[in-house]
Chains A and B, each alone.
Chain A
Amino acid sequence: MRNLINALIGLAAILAIWEGLIIVGKYPPALLPPPTKVLAGFREIAVSGALVEHVLVTLRRFFMGYLSACALGIALGLVCGWLTRLWAVTEPVVHVLRPISPVAWFPFIVMWFGIGDIPATVIIFISAFFPVLLSTVAATRLINPLYLKVARNFGVKQPLLMSKIILPAIFPNIVTGLHLALGAAWIFMVAGEMLGAQSGLGFLIIDARNGFRTDLVVCAMITIGVLGLIFDRAIVIFERWANRVWGVGPAA
């Protein structure tokens, strides 16, 4: 309740500064649209159905890219973390690839896949993949040796060792990587859709700018921010759940 009040105070303050700037600076609406105009813009795209359409397209791409990155990142991370030699070979490669912004892949992505759903999905995938991979490798290498001892003692062998012991043992640690990846992927989702798509929230920003509808640009930005916040809260809840059910207990 107290948090909610604080949040509302913050939001009210930013609205007041925003409106105040426009009154004092007399900026033209195209340069800095006032809150009232943004609200009207929201109503417009909500009524026309464009907002929902863009949001749904974005969500579909986002979850395709993010979830496939999670699946592949965890699978490869388990293998690389378990096979020390393999990781010694792949680690340098990963560390060279990782600092390259996913957007830098864009020229190739468009040449290979054209314009549409795939480029944005691939960029989301790349941005989520590395945090998941690295956290899975680190967690696998740091697995409590006691669990492996118990598994050996009770005759748990591969592949059951992987699915019944290693994966659940390190899952609470992987979730931290999933959280980081979610944030990175959501940020790069906008870039991916601005560059290579004809729909979605990123495209809405470009499209609105081209039509000088800066109020709609702000609408898209706010929508992206609010959805990002919702996903972040959701994965925090997921993290707590994972710790309670899979881990050593709820974080103190």
Chain B
Amino acid sequence: MGQPGLGSGASRVSDLKLVKTEPEPNEASALIELKGVSMVFDDGRRPAWRSLADISFGVKRGEFVCFVGPSGCGKTTLVNLMAGFERPTQGSVAIGGRTVLAPSIRHVTIFQDYGLLPWRTVKKNVELGLESQKIPARERAQKVEALIKRVGLENFINHHPWQLSGGMRQRVAIARALAVEPEIIFMDEPLGSLDALTRMALQEEILALCREKGTTIVLVTHDVEEAVFLADRIIVMTPGPGRIKNVFTVDMPHKRDRGSAEFARTRRAVLNEMTAVV
């Protein structure tokens, strides 16, 4: 109701072999499971802010899921809930069948502003997650050096974050996340502050690096092209309060050709879905 273009968009989508699926909250194979999640921010002073309303959704093991939507649609809140930084006002978030109560080193988040510790060198930043686990120093050093080499920063191993470009910093953050071999990586607008070329290069690296070990990835972005390039499934969200508007399954094989007709059609279909509500 009141959503013009949805019907026509749907038929076009099916023409494109883009399978439109309903949310599947109770899917048995879901690794991350959200049931009826609502989030209200109420500090008692300002009017309460309804960030998310009744979100139900499942992410399968090994899947690459992208949340797209305009700002204010609650996608960052959603990631914060899944990563355990916040608890939902209503509903439940579970990973592997267990309710998420706190952040875990098994589920690492990569932030838009990298979250690197400025007083630590590249090496020490990548090592952070290994320090709190009981891993011998030599083993740690080997692992860290291999990862830094893997993200192409071997010449910057003893640099501090401020000496690196934005793209290099995000590479450090990715290496730091991979170092603890997480089950899930959450990414909150990880490439949001990078220039277009660096973005594209890093999108390819994220695919190559994170999929090597079959890591499940949940990425939040406002960039539809990024979502189409990376995702197995794209979840379109709408604001006020944040809801899931639609889910697209992207079937194109990797590495996807950004110039292909299918890529353009998929991007347009997702964009139409997003703009239909604004």
Contacts and interface: CB of A to CB of B under 8 A. Distances in A.
Given A154-B128, A245-B160, A146 B133 contact: no
A169 B115 contact: no
Contact of B105 (A149, A155, A164, A165): A155
Contact of B119 (A152, A155, A246): A246
Interface string B90-112: 00000000000011110111010
Contact of B128 (A149, A156, A246, A247): A156
B5 interface: no
Nearest to B114: A146
B115 A150 contact: yes
A147 interface: yes
A147 B111 CA distance: 11
A249 interface: yes
A1 interface: no
A153 interface: yes
B276 interface: no
A142 interface: no
A244 B119 CA distance: 8
Contact of B108 (A153, A157, A165): A153
A154 B117 contact: no
A62 interface: no
Given A152-B85, A155-B129, A160-B132, A146 B180 contact: no
Contacts, number: 66
Contact of B115 (A149, A157, A246): A149
Q: From B103, B104, B176, name the one whose CB has the most chain A CB atoms within 10 angstroms.
A: B103
A248 B119 CA distance: 8
B32 to A, nearest CB: 16
Given A152-B102, A153-B105, A155-B105, A247 B119 contact: yes
Contact of B132 (A157, A245, A248): A157
Contacts of B132: 154-157, 160
Nearest to B130: A154
Contacts of B160: 244-245, 249
A153 B119 contact: no
A66 interface: no
A165 B117 contact: yes
Q: From A150, A152, A153, name the one whose CB has the most chain B CB atoms within 10 angstroms.
A: A153
A152 B103 contact: yes
Contacts of A246: 118-119
Interface in A132-173: 146-147, 149-150, 152-157, 160, 164-165, 168-169, 171
B113 interface: yes
B236 interface: no
Contact of B118 (A149, A155, A248): A248
B85 A146 contact: no
B37 to A, nearest CB: 20
Contacts of B120: 168
B102 to A, nearest CB: 7
B162 interface: yes
Interface string B119-147: 11000000011011100000000000000
Nearest to B132: A155
A247 B115 contact: no
Contacts of A169: 117, 119
Contacts of A244: 160
A168 B103 contact: no
Contacts of B113: 146
Contacts of B109: 149, 153
Contacts of A171: 119
A154 B127 CA distance: 10
A160 B130 CA distance: 13
A189 B6 CA distance: 78
Interface in A53-93: none
Contact of B180 (A147, A154, A249): A154
Interface of B: 83, 85, 102-105, 107-109, 111, 113, 115, 117-120, 128-129, 131-133, 160-163, 176, 180
Q: Which 4 A-B pairs have the closest CB atoms?
A: A249-B162, A246-B119, A154-B129, A155-B132
17 contacts: A149-B103, A150-B111, A150-B117, A154-B128, A154-B129, A155-B132, A155-B133, A156-B128, A156-B132, A157-B132, A165-B117, A169-B119, A245-B160, A246-B119, A247-B118, A247-B162, A248-B162
Interface of A: 146-147, 149-150, 152-157, 160, 164-165, 168-169, 171, 244-249
